[in-house]
Each structure stands twice: as structure tokens, then as C-alpha cells.
Amino acid sequence: MFHKRYLKTVAYFVLLFLLLAALPGSSARASVPQAVGFILLSAGRDGVIGTDDDIYVTGNREVVKGKVDLAALGLTQGDLIPSSGEAPAQGDTAFVPASIVLMSDKASAPADGATAVTLTATVEDSSGQAVSGVTVRFETTLGVINPQEATTDQNGTAKTVLSSSTAGTAKVRASVGNLSAECDVVFLASNISEVEPNDSMNQAQEITIGQTVEGYIGYTDPSSGYRDSYDWYKITIPVDGRLEINYNSDSAYAELSLYNSNGNYITSSGVSKSAPIMSDLAAGTYYIQVYYNSGNPAGYTLTTGLTPSHQVSVYLGCYELRLEGNNVLPATKYLRIYQDGVRKYQLAFTSGTIVTAYTLRDANGKLCIDYSYDSYLYSNGVYTYWKSITNSFSTNFNVPCN
Ligand SMILES: [Ca+2]
Ligand SMILES: [Ca+2]
């Protein structure tokens, strides 16, 4: 019985080796370091891993009989992948992981401990073929991952699920052997209730982006005769972006107003039962005032969301152009920049782009142009800005480029 299984395993490894040898270009990979990848291992006749009758395939695609010398191969115990002894399936011939990509199906999710974020790791070999049958380990700095290990399928993908009951940013990592990939998933705080008194800027209740606040407005305290006309909230924006605030009530008409940290008025929503504010803001602390205007006193919800400004970096020779703003398209095909014979740059943006800042720096980090332009033209849905380089900067164009 043992003997038969042993022969079967040997036969499979020989088959695997022949398949590997038949791979186009496999002989040209002699320069691949010995330590790349992992070891596919059969325990051999005695069924025990680590003895002289083991048979294994190295990450360098060599079939070897005998006890694995991990130190000589520069590998660790974790790189051993026991073979099931089953015949290699179609696609198994390409089995040396060379890249891993990790993606989540949601960038953010409520921190309710239940909402599932699906994480998908894709493992490919150096020729871009899917690698099946390898174990991917998943880790997170926040929340729970279940399962923590998954095996890649015929498409080279392994999936798991992340959830969290704590708000914050989960840094997720997927790894196979020495390869790893990371992505971030933001868990947003669940609903909170307003806390009175919150009737002035000094009493503003602190809330975070993504939270839904449940409050009441317009009610009168029968004993004091005091009407709750103002609810104030304080919110901190971690990065530049567009803040969206939404007020919704069945019957209480209210007006939202936004103030900066110095108490200076920025904008307001107008009176409505569903009043929104959208404002492009720099990172910092802001205050939101909900003012009861009319209608029946009622409960309301206040929600906030932030769309971070995009940053686009374009390298042009030794110059780096960086754009910030809302709807800056993060693809160079929508962006044209060039230096013509008279040292001018042209920047072209599609309609709808709001550029809040752009900078051009030379190889030494010296600022060549910043947020200003000499003229612009709007034509066929494209804004084109021109900026001349001033004389004071002209000598910097002789800075040698790498
Ligand atoms: Ca209130
Ligand atoms: Ca109040």
C-alpha cells in the first residue's frame, strides 16, 4: 500500500517535472535565484517529512530526492508546501509565485462587526499565469479576518472576509512565501445620538467623518419654555477634500451652516427638510450648525462624507508635475503637459475638473511654477492653461537631469 502510493507520487513528480521542462522559456530562467518561491514536498515512502526519501520540487523548478536542506536553499519551514500526492491539474505547471495582488470589494464599511468586506488575493507566476493550490495568509491591523488562510483556485485567487466592530483603518496584508501585498479598508463609526446641550460653537459635539448623527430639533421644554433651535457639531477633516453634509427630517425645516476653526462663516445650505452642503476644504477642524427654521419639531439625521482630493503626479524628464483638486482625473491620457520652444507649459483638463493646486518642481525639488496661470482657453469641453516660466526660474532649467 505504502509502496504503491510512493510509486504514484514519484510518477506525479516525474510528470510535473516533464511539464515544467516543456514550459517555453523555462530553461532560460537559469538566472532565477535559488531562494525564489517555495518547495512542493512529498513525504516519500515513510510518510514522514524531513527524511531521506522525501521528493521535492524547488522554487527553481528542480526535482530533488532526499531530505530538504532549507539552509542551503535560503528558505524556512514556512516555505514547505506538502504535496497531496494528487496528479497536477491543468494549470498547475506554472506554480512558482512571482506576484501577489490584494484587492477589497469595498474601500469602506460600517464598523458594525457584521458587514463583510471580501478580500481577494491573486497569485501569478513570472509569466503572468495564475498559480493555483498555494496557501495565502491574511493579516489585519484591525478587525477580524476569517479564514486567515485560503488556497488559491484555478484562477490563482484566494478569498477571505474582513469585518470590524471598531472604527478605524484596517491595514490588510496577504502573503505567500516572501511575497506580500497590502491594502487599506476604512471602517466607519456606527450611528450616534446627539448630546445636549449643543447650542453654541463652544458646546459643539465632536463627530467623525462617516458617522450618522441622530438628533432632535425644534422642541420646547415645557418647564423652562426653552426651544432647542441650535445643534452644533465639530468635525475634523484629515486630508484636503470635498466635505458633504446631509440633513434629513420628516417635518423640521432647518438650515445648515459651516464654519472654520476660527468661527468664520464658509457656506450654508438654505432652509429645507433635506438640506445638503458640499464644500471643498483644506484639512482641519470645522463646525456645523443646524438651525431650526420652521415646520413641526422632529427628529433628524445628519450624515457626513469626505471625498479626498486626488493627487496626480506626472514625471516629465526631470520635472514632476503634481495636481490636486476634485475630479482631477488620475490618468495621464486626460492630461497634457509639455514644454515648447518658449518655455511655456500647457495643462489641459476635461470639463468638470476643479484644480485647487498645481506645482511643478525640478529634479532638486525647486518650485518652478505654482498655483497661477497666465491665461486659459476653454474649447470643446477642455480647459487649457498656459503658464510662462519667469526669468528668475529660467536658469533652473539647466539643472542636469538623471
Ligand atoms: Ca437637538
Ligand atoms: Ca441643541
Report CA(56)–ligand 1 centroid distance (Å): 70
CA distances (Å), 59 to each of 62, 175, 181, in order?
7, 16, 20
- Residue among 51, 53, 76, 73 at smallest CA distance from 62: 73
Closest ligand to C-alpha of residue 298 is 1
Q: What is the pLDDT of residue 110?
A: 82
Report CA(215)–ligand 2 centroid distance (Å): 9
Report CA(210)–ligand 2 centroid distance (Å): 21
| CATH code where residue 287 lies | 2.60.120.380
Residues 23 and 117 in one domain: no
Report CA(291)–ligand 2 centroid distance (Å): 9
Q: What is the pLDDT of residue 171?
A: 86
Report CA(274)–ligand 2 centroid distance (Å): 18
Question: Which distant-in-sequence residues (6+ apart) come within 8 Å of 380 by Cβ?
Answer: none
| Number of folded domains that form the chain | 4
Report CA(279)–ligand 1 centroid distance (Å): 24
Per-chain residues with Cβ under 5 A from ion ligand 1? 215-216, 228, 231
Residues 217 and 155 in one domain: no
Residues 291 and 197 in one domain: yes
ω into 88 cis (within 30 of 0): no
Boundary (domain end) residue, out of 51, 82, 113: 82
Residues 389 and 325 in one domain: yes
Tell me, yes or no, whether 88 lies in a domain: no
Boundary (domain end) residue, out of 136, 167, 188: 188
- Residues 246 and 79: their CA atoms lie apart, in Å, by 52
Report CA(241)–ligand 2 centroid distance (Å): 28
- Residues 200 and 135: their CA atoms lie apart, in Å, by 56
Q: Higher pLDDT residue, 199 or 324? A: 199
- Residue among 270, 243, 265, 233 at smallest CA distance from 254: 270
Report CA(207)–ligand 2 centroid distance (Å): 15
- The per-residue pLDDT for range 237-293, each reduced to its tens digit, is 876 677 889 999 999 999 999 999 999 999 999 999 997 898 888 888 999 999 999
Mean pLDDT estimate for the chain = 70
**Positions of E strands within 189-239:** 192-193, 205-207, 212-217, 230-237
Closest ligand to C-alpha of residue 215 is 1
Report CA(317)–ligand 2 centroid distance (Å): 57
- Segments forming the whole domain that contains residue 317: 310-398
What average pLDDT score do residues 58-67 get? Answer: 63
Q: What is the pLDDT of residue 235?
A: 96
Report CA(294)–ligand 1 centroid distance (Å): 14
Main-chain phi, psi angles of 269, to 5 degrees: -95, -20
Q: Higher pLDDT residue, 255 or 167? A: 255
* 379-394 b/e (C-beta count within 10 Å ≥ 16 → b): eeeebebebebeeebe
Residues 297 and 215 in one domain: yes
Boundary (domain end) residue, out of 282, 307, 332: 307
Closest ligand to C-alpha of residue 300 is 1
Report CA(301)–ligand 2 centroid distance (Å): 14
Closest ligand to C-alpha of residue 302 is 1
Question: Which distant-in-sequence residues (6+ apart) come within 8 Å of 62 by Cβ?
Answer: none
- The per-residue pLDDT for range 49-61, each reduced to its tens digit, is 677 766 666 655 5
Report CA(187)–ligand 1 centroid distance (Å): 27
Q: What is the pLDDT of residue 392?
A: 30
